[in-house]
Amino acid sequence: MNLLENLFNFVIMARQVRFSPLTQLADAKPIDWEVRFAYRDVALRKWLSARGMTPGEGGKGFRITRTMEDIHLLVSEGQKDLPGVDWLLPQTPAEKMESNTPSNLYEEIIGRYLDRLKVSRYSPHTIRSYKLAFTKFLIGISPRHPNDLKKNDIIQYLLERQKKDYISATYQNQIINAIKFWYEKVEELPRKNYELPRPRKADPLPKVISMEEMQSMIRQTTNLKHKCLLMMAYGAGLRSAELLALRPIHVDSKRMIIRIERGKGNKDREVPLPAQLLPILREYYQRYKPEIYLFEGQKTGTPYSSKSLQQVVHQSAMRAGIRKNVTPHMLRHSYATHLLEAGADIRYIQDLLGHKSITTTEIYTHIARTRKPPSPLDSFIL
């Protein structure tokens, strides 16, 4: 039995959960999955619901929105928590090692690879992403050992992925990072030997809405939970994942701060709690009484879904008469831009946004209105 069969082989038992993709599988894109199990199994239904499973359309069946990697992580968690359950997944290319590849060789490679990722304290999400990308790399070069490859062999592998899988520039960068991690961190080979060319990618300016448009969105939203979501997303400049991971204990009304734990890059930070948000947040808490997450979905104890958040933002923008396609992340961009326009120091904004590099924050200087001189045309008397 090869390594991937060891990783993804699920012991056959009486209780079963089957995940079936409702759309075409994608490497790093969340998709909708149908979840099938014995609905009378209350304990199993409760466990799945606590991890984001919701009723399907019209209340028929159950659905969950996750990436393929997240589903594998969920299954691994389920195997530990519910040892009497058989978890069934569709087979992916990453589960098909070449038959002539010695299993102990790949066990050693992947084992060392994962150990180095873990000891380096990479986040669970990064570990999953790197492992999947590197496993597919091993499949693509099989039966050769990665240390037997030349730089051009790896370039040919990347070209093949471009041709067959139409991978994006962003995902190609992720593949390169995963491959380089093996050579540079695990094997500690000279970086110059595997300095792979990076794909050119677009560098678009962030899209924002005006303060007046944001104010109109909030005013036109009458649903209390939806209004709190909008005000928190914009007023604290949060990423969607950060917003949906908030718990009541993260809001400190005495210090007037919101604590974001394990944000992007596995970093914690604190941002000011807007004074106008506090009374509305208190009213929301008294009415909805969230138990685990500050913003919960239909099932108590489950986080509000990112898809529902997108719908809230989109519908609020439509009611406000905004024709742009407004997304949750645009509220974060708008928050940063409006702070800059109000004269806030860019390094302060960097801290609020949780950016590792000031260069990332400086992109907002290109769209902030107060930073742009008027056109010479405006001085003409016509």
Task: Catalogue the active-site residues.
Answer: 239, 264, 329, 332, 355, 364
Distance CA 326, CA 318 (A): 9
Backbone torsion region of residue 354, taken as left when φ is above 0, otherwise alpha when ψ lies between -120 and 50, otherwise beta? left
Spatial contact of 253 and 273, defined as CB atoms under 8 Å apart? yes
Distance CA 47, CA 85 (A): 12
The H or E element containing residue 16 is strand 15-21
- Phi/psi for 263 (5° steps) reads -75, -160
Got the DSSP string for 95-117?
Answer: G---TTS-HHHHHHHHHHHHHHH
The H or E element containing residue 32 is strand 31-37
Q: How many CB atoms lie within 10 A of CB 30?
A: 16
Q: Which of 278, 300, 299, 283 is nearest to 291 (CA)?
A: 300
Distance CA 172, CA 304 (A): 31
Residue 291 is encoded by which pair of tokens? 């138990």
Sign of CA dihedral 160, 161, 164, 168: negative
According to DSSP, the β-strands at 251-252 and 62-66 are unpaired
Q: How many CB atoms lie within 10 A of CB 20?
A: 12
Q: Reduce the DSSP state of residue 361 to 3 states and report it.
A: helix
Spatial contact of 296 and 53, defined as CB atoms under 8 Å apart? no
Distances (CA, A) of 328 to 276, 333, 354: 20, 9, 17
Distance CA 183, CA 194 (A): 7
Amino acid making up residue 321? G
- Which residue in the block uniquely carries the two structure tokens 């204990």? 249
